[in-house]
Amino acid sequence: MKKKILLFIAAFIILIAAFVGWKFLGPTVYAPDHKYLYIRTGADLTNVTDSLLKNKIIGGTTWFNLASRIVGYKQAKPGRYEIKKGMSLLGLVRMLKNGNQSPVNFVITKIRTREVLAGRIGRAFECDSLSMVDFMNNPDSLAQFGLDTNNVMVAAMPLTYTLKWNTTPSRIFREFHTAWTNFWTPERRQLADSLGLTPVQVSTLASIIDEETNAESDRPNIASVYLNRLSQGMPLQADPTVKFALRNFALRRIYEKQLLTASPYNTYVNKGLPPGPICTPAAVTIDAVLHAPKTDYMYFVASTAFDGTHVFTSNYKDHMTYARLYQKELNNRNVK
C-alpha cells in the first residue's frame, strides 16, 4: 500500500513538473496577426503586461509574472519584438529582458519631399513624422552634417537601412548621412571636382535626371546635355523642376504660363542648378553624371514612341522639329 502511495505521489509530482515545464517551455505564447509587440520609450512592466494581454500574446499574468521573476525581468526595454509561432514563455521573457528587438528594414525609393520621407519614417518607427520634419527643417540640426534645409534630401539615398524601431530622428538621419558619405568615395569626389561640381550639386543634377526618365540607357546622355548647358551658362530648362516648384507631380504637360512660376527650383526662371534635389537621387544616376559622355548635345525631347527614351540633338532647329512631333503626338493622345 505504501508503495502505491509513493508511486501515486511520484506520478503526481511528474505531472505537476510536466505542467509547469509546459507553461514555461512549451509553445504557449500566441503570435499576433501583425507579428510584433511594440514597447514604447518610457513604458514600464505594467504597460508591457497590458500590451501582451491586449494583443492576446499571453492568456493571463500569473505565469508571465512568475517567469519574469525567475529570469529577472525588471525593467521594460523599448523596441519592436517579433513574436514567433511556437515561442515559449521563458523565451518571450528572455527576449524582452535582453532587449533583443527585431530591426526595421527601412527602404527608401524615389521620394520627392522631406514631408513624404518623414511620413514614411513616422509609419515605420516609434518617432512621429512631425519630429522628423522638425529635425530636417532645423538648420542647427543639419549644420553638423554640412547640409541645409534646401539640400537635406541628398542624404536620403535609395537604399535599405536596418535600424531599431525606437531610433530617434537624429540617429535615423545620421544613418542616412553615413551611407551617403560612404558612397562618396575619394574617386567619386575627384570625378565631381573634375566637373566643377560638389557632391551635393552632382546629387541635385542626378535628381533632375531621375525625374526626366526611367530609361537607364538615356541617363548618361541627359547628363551630358545638362553639363553642356551648365558650362555654357544656359538655363537647364528642366520640366521636372517646374513640377517640383508647383508641387504638382502628376502634371503630364507643362504649359508656358507654368514655366514662369516663381521659385528657386524653377530652372526656366533661374540659371544653374536648383538649391537642392527634387527627389532622392539613385546611385546609378549619380554615377551617370560622374561618367557622362563628352557630347555636343544641347537638347533632348521625349520620343514619340512614348517608350521612355529621348531624341538628342545639338542644335535648336533639329530640336524644335522633334519637339513639334512630340507635341503633335500628345495632342493625338489627348494628353492634358
Given the C-alpha cell 526618365, which residue does it identify?
A: 213
Residue 67: pLDDT above 60?
yes
pLDDT at res. 27: 81
- Ramachandran class of 99: left when φ > 0, alpha when ψ lies in -120 to 50, beta otherwise: left
pLDDT at 222: 97
Strands 79-82, 36-39: pairing is antiparallel
Mean pLDDT of the region 46-71: 91
Please provide the size of the chain in residues.
336
On average, the pLDDT of the chain sits at 91
Quick: pLDDT tens for 318-333: 999 988 998 888 888 8
Q: In the predicted model, is pLDDT for residue 191 greater than 70?
A: yes
Is the confidence at residue 137, as pLDDT, over 80?
Answer: yes
pLDDT category at 304 given cuts 50, 70, 90 is confident
Is the pLDDT assigned to residue 314 strictly greater than 60? Answer: yes
d(CA 332, CA 324): 12
Over range 236-244, report the average pLDDT.
Answer: 95
User: Residue holding cell 504649359?
Assistant: 255
pLDDT for res 13: 62
Which pLDDT score, from 0 to 100, does residue 331 have? Answer: 84
pLDDT exceeds 80 at position 285: yes
pLDDT (0 to 100) of residue 45: 94
The owner of cell 507635341 is: 327
How far apart CA 281 and CA 204 sit, in angstroms, is: 7
pLDDT at 23 over 70: no
For the entire predicted model, the pTM comes to 0.88
199, 188 Cβ separation under 8 angstroms: yes
Closest listed residue to residue 55, CA positions, set 69, 84, 35 = 35
Taking CA atoms, 175 is separated from 106, 162, 179, 206, 207, in Å, by 11, 9, 6, 21, 20
Say how far apart CA 120 and CA 113 lie, in whole Å.
11
- 25-58 pLDDT tens trace: 668 888 888 899 999 999 999 999 999 999 999 9
Checking if the pLDDT of 2 tops 70, the result is: no
Over the stretch 85-108, which tens digit does the pLDDT of each residue have? 889 989 999 999 999 999 999 999
The CA distances from residue 128 to 30, 76, 101, 119, 190, in Å, are: 29, 21, 19, 8, 39
What is the spatial distance between Cα 289 and Cα 20, in angstroms, rounded to a whole number?
66
Q: How many C-beta atoms surround the C-beta of residue 199 within 10 A? A: 19
pLDDT at residue 251, rounded to an integer: 86
DSSP letters for 112-147:
--HHHHHHHHHHHSSS-HHHHHHHHT-HHHHHTTT-
Neighbouring-strand partners of residue 39 = 79
Q: What is the pLDDT of residue 230?
A: 97
Rounded Cα distance between 277 and 267, Å, is 12
Query: What is the share, in percent, of the chain residues with pLDDT greater than 90?
Result: 74
Asked if residues 266 and 254 have their Cβ atoms less than 8 Å apart, the reply is no
